[in-house]
């Protein structure tokens, strides 16, 4: 399995899970919520070549972490992956949108300056604003829109701008999510869990190796076999990480 967006550091028993995730998954991208968290988690998670920690500043905590913006920008050059970054325009967070946008623009500009990065982006309630920001920094790298929840029109705009998508079991649990996945180009889709934030119906978190439900749903939506979907997802992963070495 591949999990291209999870918060492994935030599970209560993260250190116990670490060896199991490394063993069961081909690759896991652990997104961080602040640059200080990235520094700490990168140290603790070192030694697992198929688990990478992405540098981020989650838009939901932009207000409390605003003082870490300079640190975030200064670390971009050393980070292989960027995330979780983005914008949140939902009622709870939209009052900090100007600050969120300033942080996002600063990160994208630095990504562009260092030659581009693969970035895992949050865009809840703010798809057009995230796409505007990406359009303004076209060489920032490859955007992966995680748990995309916009309209079909916004999906087409994202595809036209070269965006990728990471899709998890909670997303395909809803009819709207399944309709969006059906419209995504199969060559631009990756798997994610967004655990421990994303949970099963009983409230327990998805674990990074539990993305089988998504592959099964993709078979139905795309009208192809399970083997074909798995091969496609693996080839997508290789295409987006051409320089990644996870052997050893
Ligand atoms: Zn997340």
Query: Which pLDDT tens digit goes with each residue over 34-90?
Result: 999 999 999 999 999 999 999 999 999 999 999 999 999 999 999 999 999 999 999
Rounded alpha-carbon distances, angstroms, from residue 66 to 57, 72, 148, 198 = 9, 10, 25, 25
C-alpha span between 118 and 205 (Å, rounded): 26
- Per the structure, the complete domain to which residue 103 belongs is given by 2-14+28-240
- The pLDDT of residue 248 is above 60: no
Contact 141, 163 (CB under 8 A): no
Alpha carbons 185 and 127: distance in angstroms, whole number? 18
DSSP letters of 120-143? EEE-TT-HHHHHHHHHHSTTSEEE
Residue 244 has pLDDT above 90, yes or no: no
6 CA from centroid of ligand 1 (Å): 6
Q: Is residue 122 part of a domain?
A: yes
Compute the average pLDDT of residues 187-207. 96
As a whole number, the mean pLDDT across the chain is: 96
| Cβ < 5 A residues, ion ligand 1 | 84, 194
Assigned domain for 211 exists: yes
Phi/psi at 100 (5° precision): -55, -45
**Residue 175 falls inside a structural domain:** yes
Span 196-203, mean pLDDT? 95
Instruction: Find the 31 Cα to ligand 1 centroid distance in Å.
Output: 7
Instruction: Please give the structure tokens belonging to residue 55.
Output: 């540098």
Distance 81 CA to ligand 1 centre (A): 14
CA 157 to chain centre: 19
When divided into structural domains, the chain yields a total of: 1
Residue 245 lies in a domain: no
Answer whether residue 21 shows pLDDT above 60: yes
Confirm whether 248 is domain-assigned: no
Q: Which helix (H) or strand (E) holds 152?
A: helix 152-160
Residue 22 within a domain: no
CA distance 161 to 135: 7
Determine phi and psi for 89, rounding to 5 degrees.
-105, 15
Span 205-230, pLDDT tens digits: 999 999 988 999 999 999 999 999 99
CA of 137 to the centre of ligand 1 (A): 22
Domain with 189 in it: what CATH number? 3.20.20.140
The closest of 84, 132, 82 to 111, measured between CA atoms, is 82
For residue 113, how far is its CA from the centre of ligand 1 (angstroms)? 25
Of the chain, the percentage scoring pLDDT greater than 90 comes to 96
Residue 189 in domain: yes
Distance 83 CA to ligand 1 centre (A): 8
User: Quick one: average pLDDT of 124-148?
Assistant: 98
CA of 194 to the centre of ligand 1 (A): 5
Q: How far is the CA of 195 from the centre of ligand 1 (A)?
A: 8
CA angle 35, 41, 42 (to 5 degrees): 85
Q: Is residue 19 part of a domain?
A: no
């Amino acid at each position: 399995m591949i999990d291209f967006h999870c918060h492994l550091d935030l599970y209560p028993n993260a250190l116990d899970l670490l060896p199991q995730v490394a063993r069961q998954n081909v690759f896991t991208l652990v997104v961080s919520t602040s640059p200080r968290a990235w520094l700490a988690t990168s140290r603790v998670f070192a030694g697992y070549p198929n688990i990478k920690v992405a540098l981020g500043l989650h838009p939901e905590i932009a207000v409390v972490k605003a003082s870490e913006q300079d640190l975030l920008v200064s670390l971009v050059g050393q980070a292989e992956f960027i995330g979780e970054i983005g914008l949140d325009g939902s009622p709870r967070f939209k009052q900090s949108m100007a600050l969120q946008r300033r942080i996002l623009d600063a990160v994208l500009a630095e990504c562009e300056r260092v030659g581009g990065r693969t970035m895992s982006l949050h865009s809840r309630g703010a798809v057009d604003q995230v796409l505007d920001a990406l359009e303004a920094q076209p060489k920032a790298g490859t955007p992966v829109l995680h748990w995309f929840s916009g309209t079909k029109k916004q999906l087409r705009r994202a595809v036209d701008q070269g965006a990728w998508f990471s899709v998890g079991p909670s997303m395909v649990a809803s009819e709207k999510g399944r309709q969006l996945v059906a419209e995504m180009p199969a060559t631009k889709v990756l798997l994610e869990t967004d655990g421990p934030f994303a949970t099963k119906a009983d409230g327990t978190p998805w674990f990074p190796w539990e993305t089988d439900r998504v592959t099964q749903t993709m078979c139905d939506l795309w009208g192809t076999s399970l083997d074909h979907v798995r091969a496609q997802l693996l080839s997508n992963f290789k295409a987006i990480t051409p320089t990644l070495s996870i052997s050893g």
